Amino acid sequence: MSVTRCLYHTKYREIGRKIAIYRNIRGFSQEELADKIGISKSYLSKIEASNSDIAFSLDVLFSIADGLELEVAVFFQPINEENLLKNNLNWSEGNGKH
C-alpha cells in the first residue's frame, strides 16, 4: 500500500512541476495565479514544490488550468515543442504579460 501512495505522490509532484512551468511560461507569479483562481499563494507553492507530499483535488487542477487558459490534459502530457505549439505556448512567452 505504501508503494502505491508513493507512486501517486510522484505523479502529484510531476503535475506540480508542470503547473510551475506553465505558470512561468504564461508570466504569472504564484501570488497572481493564486489570486486569480481563489486559492492561497502558500497552497499553490506547496502544489508546485518538488518535495511536497500534498494531494490536491481535481477541482483545484481544473481551476489552475482555467487560470492558465489551458486544457487540463497538458498536465498529463510531456512538455515538448509539439505540445507547447499545440497549446499556443512557447518558452519566450514568460514575459509577465497575461
* CATH for 59: 1.10.260.40
Which contacts qualify for 82-90: CB closer than 8 Å, 24 or more apart? 84/25, 89/22, 89/25, 89/26, 90/25
At residue 98, does pLDDT exceed 70?
Answer: no
Quote the pLDDT of residue 2: 43
For the stretch 43-97, pLDDT in tens is 999 999 988 888 899 999 999 999 999 999 999 988 877 767 776 666 554 444 4
pTM of the model: 0.81
C-alpha span between 5 and 31 (Å, rounded): 29
In a domain, residue 7? The reply is yes
Rg (CA), the chain: 13
Q: How many domains does the chain divide into?
A: 1
C-alpha cell read off for 13: 509532484
In a domain, residue 98? The reply is no
